Amino acid sequence: MITGREPNIIKCMDPAQRELALADERKAIARREKMEQRLFSSWLKLQRGHGHLWFINPQSNKASTIEPGHPDYTIFLKGGRLVLIEMKVEGGKLSSEQDQAILMLETLGHPVHICWSHVGAINVVQLYMSVDQDERGPIRF
């Protein structure tokens, strides 16, 4: 089935049509990413209600005061552990600010997990939560 997103078709389009097709694709990716973030945030709120964690996730509909490139989620767990998650969906790409922030955070010893769905993000957090609370330091995958 031809969807109009195949690279050869986009390359054959006139520039104006190509830009419209690419803009539509970017909007669809952004919508999917927001939906995955909503699902993950709902799960995190349940966990917070049970006293298992605290998290920060800036609202995507407002201008953020958090440093550009900072991961979407900063999650605090018992035992002084921190989980950093950047949410992406298929077709999504890290910005240069995100690449730089991830490099700096990992240089400082804080791994950043790129998750491609809310299920993947939940799995990462559950793995951190399952490790003995007395253990210190980051979990290495």
Q: Tell me the average pLDDT across 66-93.
A: 93
**Predicted pLDDT of residue 14:** 80
Strand partners, 112: 84
List strand residue ranges (DSSP E) for the chain, in order: 53-56, 73-77, 81-87, 112-115
Q: Which residues contact 40 (CB under 8 A, 6 or more apart)?
A: 73, 85, 87, 115, 118, 121, 122
Q: What is the pLDDT of residues 81-139, one digit of tens each?
A: 999 999 999 888 999 999 999 999 999 999 999 999 999 999 999 999 998 655 555 55
What is this structure's pTM?
A: 0.78
Q: Is the pLDDT of residue 1 over 60?
A: no
**Predicted pLDDT of residue 20:** 79
DSSP secondary structure letter of residue 61: T
What domains appear along the chain, each with residue ranges and CATH number? 7-130 (3.40.1350.10)
d(CA 12, CA 8): 6
Question: For residue 59, what pLDDT band results from cuts at 50, 70 and 90?
Answer: confident
Asked whether the beta carbons of 56 and 73 are under 8 A apart, the reply is: yes
Mean pLDDT over the full length of the chain? 86
